Amino acid sequence: MTMDITGKKVFTIAVKVDTPVVVGQDEISGRRQLIPILSGTLEGEQMHGEVLPGGVDSQVIRPDGICELSARYGVKLDDGSSFYVENNGIRTVPAEYVEQVKRGEFIEPSLYYFCTTPHFEVFGEQLRWMCQKIFMCKATRLPDQVLLDYYVME
């Protein structure tokens, strides 16, 4: 029996970020950095809102260029409801771009894989469904923001 899984785009979040704060870096562990989340917007067919200040994207960029990340932030919707998201994932780049990534330089988004799995804590009955579904997120890192397309798996 074959099972088809499809994703339906629910919303896009555009997150404004600050300069990374480097915690430490060496040849064994890679580079640990904390990226402050300043603000942002959420736009979708059924939802609109803003990303609250105070979130953080905690990352470790391994010596092989793989970035393991965990972003945590809050969103306030226009209808007054809100949610907190913990978004864990990875970003990988081809070998020829690893040194650029390790230096924190911009890489053209079409050249890398960047996906996450969000987990939601919701405040508002109308959002309960978000805790009863699996979501995936396709992300794009730009110099001063991250674009996150959220898909619900069907």
Listed by start position, the domains of the chain span 7-153
Question: Above pLDDT 90, what percent of the chain?
Answer: 77
pLDDT higher than threshold 80 for residue 103: no
For residue 78, count other CB atoms closer than 10 A to its CB.
Answer: 10
Nearest Cα to 41, choosing from 78, 80, 96? 78
Q: Is the pTM of this model over 0.85?
A: yes
Mean pLDDT of 139-145: 86
Task: Say what the pLDDT of residue 98 is.
Answer: 79
pLDDT band of residue 106 (cuts 50, 70, 90) is: confident
Could you report the per-residue pLDDT of 51-76, keeping only the tens digit for each? 999 999 999 999 888 999 999 999 99
Q: Does domain 7-153 have CATH number 2.60.40.10?
A: no
Q: Where are the beta strands (DSSP E) in 45-153?
A: 48-51, 55-61, 67-77, 82-92, 113-123, 135-141, 145-153
